[in-house]
Amino acid sequence: KLFIKDLWFEKVPVRIYQPKVPSASQRKGVMFFHGGGWVSGSLETHEKLCRSIARESESVVVSVGYRLAPEHTYPAAYEDCLNATIHFMKDIEHYGVDPANVIVCGDSAGGNLAAAVSQTLAGRSDLPKLRAQVLIYPGLQALDFNLPSYQQNQRVPLLFRERAAFYVLQYLNGNASNLEEVLEGSHIPIDITLNYRKWVSPDNIPEKFKVRGYKPHVLLDCTTEVYETVKRFCEPNLCPLLAEDAIIQQLPESFILTCEYDVLRDDGLLYKKRLEDNGVRVTWYHLEDGFHGIINSFNSDWLSFSSGKRGLDNIVNFLKSL
């Protein structure tokens, strides 16, 4: 039911999925950025998911094969996703896509990249505005690895707390030499941490998400040497939760999917609150029985979860509603 084609946008490999059924009007275009902690994942790992989204939402899906860490550190992945999206938007007529109906979408690290690209494009007047962003259990900050969801789900597969910190350090520096400091929270000076407390704080998370064994974390100070190696964690292109309100206010309608048993759950909840506080329309879908990575297992041959299918159905329904 799909035409599938591998191309290059600038220097970035992409795979395009186009429905074969003729369409009376221009289609939606979905830029898809795969998950994998910025260090793994590919066009192949998310092939089934992209096919499903293209087929069921009748959209043109462009899956982006961005460069991976540790060989290519930040901002390589972000730049590849941004450049591929801009290339697509400039050549959009060619794909029968409505310029006013382009959506960025990604899971996990891909959700991070989608949020960062969305923020960057919000400030561009030379391109059409994005229609929406779809963030599937995104990782959006690296200041606090002791939020309730990090404590509660630290040993829940498929993403352990330590791995989450390891991945973001690989993306940032190509190594994880400051892993201990990042996990205990002694990687960012207290004054900077307090400055971001208005956005990154357990206080902004609804009480019902704190009942499962959460203990407030004591703030630790950090050495200059450690901060020097990780200070780019304060850049919104790496941690979109830290963008200023002026940027957040310009963001398009958003869909956020979170899973109860996921260390990244609270990143999604905090971003949802920020978007809503700034007047952005948010559709939030929470999988009470979900865990990190579940959407990609929706039709896996050896391990399939009904809640993964439910999550995917909600994503497709949101796309169809646009």
Question: Would you name the residues annotated as active-site residues?
Answer: 108, 262, 292
**Phi and psi (nearest 5°) for 283?**
-105, 120
User: Rounded to whole angstroms, how far apart are CA atoms 110 and 120?
Assistant: 15
What's at 126, amino acid-wise?
D
The answer to whether 46 touches 76, Cβ cutoff 8 Å, is no
Task: Tell me which residue of 163, 185, 164 sits closest to 230, measured CA to CA.
Answer: 185
DSSP assignment letter at 71: T
User: Is there a cis peptide before residue 270, judged by omega within 30 degrees of 0?
Assistant: no
| Paired tokens of 308 | 């993964």
Q: Strand pairing partners for 15? A: 6, 63
Spatial neighbors of 193 by CB under 8 A, at least 6 apart, are 143, 144, 185, 219
Task: Tell me which residue of 84, 100, 106, 74 sits closest to 15, measured CA to CA.
Answer: 84
Going from the C-alpha of 125 to that of each of 67, 88, 114, 129, 299, the distances in angstroms are 27, 16, 19, 8, 40
What's at 41, amino acid-wise?
G
Q: Do the bridges between strand 12-19 and strand 60-64 make them parallel or antiparallel, or are there none, so unpaired?
A: antiparallel
Q: How many other CB atoms sit within 10 Å of the CB of residue 17?
A: 23
Q: Where are the alpha helices (DSSP H) in 210-292?
A: 224-230, 245-248, 265-277
